């Protein structure tokens, strides 16, 4: 068994995620979605682009408890990944994570920033929302 698969089953490989609590309007993000492109500059050279994240489309399932956001991230202008961010509702909390069917192979900084960006947008639309459990603290600041 490969070390990555073994790590998955033993719980040492953590999927990036953010849990938001006090969410009473789950569809607020869906209703306010606008296609967007984030251009992230290199930390050492502000004039150099390090990553590009593009939020292309948003889909709401018929049960109105799951949102998928088609996302493309490009890092270092040569590595592109297309994946869906999954926003799943349960009571008054939502979990933002990568869709398992389109899970990108590399959990790069751009992939993690894309998840954190969705969480921040929810919080911006409704300031009463709180950030719960997450392993993306550094990207939420």
Give the model's pLDDT for residue 43.
74
Q: What is the dihedral of CA 22, 17, 29, 69, to 10 degrees?
A: -160
The single-letter DSSP state of residue 25 is -
Write the CA distances from 9 to 1, 4, 13, 16, integer angstroms. 11, 9, 8, 16
Question: Rounded distance, CA 62 to CA 124, Å?
Answer: 26
Q: What is the pLDDT of residues 19-69, one digit of tens each?
A: 999 999 999 999 999 999 999 987 777 766 789 999 999 999 999 999 999
Residue 121: CB atoms within 10 A of its CB come to 16
Is the predicted pLDDT of residue 85 greater than 90, yes or no? yes
Q: Say yes or no to pLDDT of 4 above 60.
A: no
Name the residue among 48, 61, 68 with its Cα closest to residue 114: 68
In this prediction, what percent of the chain has a pLDDT beyond 90? 77
CA distances from 4 to 1, 26, 46, 47, 138 (A): 8, 34, 35, 36, 24
């Amino acid at each position: 068994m490969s070390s990555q698969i073994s790590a998955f089953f033993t719980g040492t490989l953590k999927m990036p995620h953010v849990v938001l609590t006090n969410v009473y309007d789950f569809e607020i993000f869906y209703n306010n979605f606008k296609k967007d492109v984030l251009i992230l500059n290199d930390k050492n050279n502000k004039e150099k682009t390090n990553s590009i994240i593009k939020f292309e489309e948003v889909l709401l399932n018929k049960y109105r408890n799951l949102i998928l956001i088609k996302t493309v991230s490009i890092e270092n202008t040569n590595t592109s990944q297309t994946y869906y961010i999954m926003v799943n509702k349960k009571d008054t909390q939502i979990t933002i994570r990568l869709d398992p069917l389109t899970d990108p192979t590399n959990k790069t900084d751009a992939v993690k920033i894309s998840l954190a960006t969705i969480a921040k947008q929810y919080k911006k639309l409704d300031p009463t929302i709180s950030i719960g459990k997450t392993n993306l603290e550094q990207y939420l600041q």
